[in-house]
Structure 1
């Protein structure tokens, strides 16, 4: 019966030593180098496994340390910003985060409302095209009707001359005008009144226009003015038309 081989590398080494002790010397001389080489290979593999395990452990430790350091810096930034908000809002240093954020929201709402009020008061142009025409409550002797008109659009060199021509064609007299430009945009706020002197045909047309609710005729005219392309685009279109005709 063969002896039972113990488990593990240590057991195999003991068994090999016991088996080799009973072999002849000439057999040992040819067999031992192979056994020694195998043992060296096993030892090298064990050392390599230990090195791999150590490398993995080192990487895990480095990653954990980097994560803790990044988390610490993040908490410090948050704390710094919260302290700055407490200073700006003149809050107690012990104010908790939820109460502080609630105060920030209220302050932002207040600032937004103030900005809107300033924009309306200063008639700053908006980022989108808009046209508003309302019948004015002002009563002016000798005038048939008065309108308050406001429109915002992209500023261009021919806008004002075309606006004058449009109002002249509608027989509207400018009583008051405010113009504000900002960032290539322009807002015009006008108080307009119908002129008195007109022929019978023009009076009939004016009566029909007055029947339109809220000065729709003026709104349509201003809309056509706003939608009119830029002079450079019109020149480009004219060149394209000329090329197509040739």
Structure 2
């Protein structure tokens, strides 16, 4: 009799545990199925968008769409490179001297290029050209303003272009205390201030978090 009671108690103990494990497995499977459904829906949405964007879509299956998208992107990149090559590397469209290696469109690499262009006047101020490329973000202009204020820099001229979440900014600066020949310490301070803007993380909207360099983070490149 005692043996039978022990078996009954064990069965009672195992029963609820097994039921709980099964319920957990069912819930996990349902969650996985929902996630897969959302993933497929998102992919189908992207494919539908591609169908509306591509100039020619004879075949509408996924493989053909992706092949055509890659071909179009390559053609656009080639056209962009030809357009950039057609422009003088030393001057902008209105004939004003441009920053070193300034391209019309943002690149996929975070970079900062800086060069001293000469003394502004007898006051000790100097001229600097800068080209910045990084992830675009709403706060980048206030950040640049604070950075330049910290090194007594004044913007004489600026040009900007944004494409696909990337931004390129060309700056012509007048920096106090730079002096004749470009004081190395002052120039280094300008470089550091601008580099902090380029390297600053991009906020993830709605999360309160930051990702280093934002979506599609690229390795920073610093040139003088």
TM-score normalised to structure 2 length:
0.44
| Higher gyration radius (CA) | 1
TM-score normalised to structure 1 length:
0.40
Larger relative contact order (Cα-Cα within 8 Å, sequence gap ≥ 6): 2
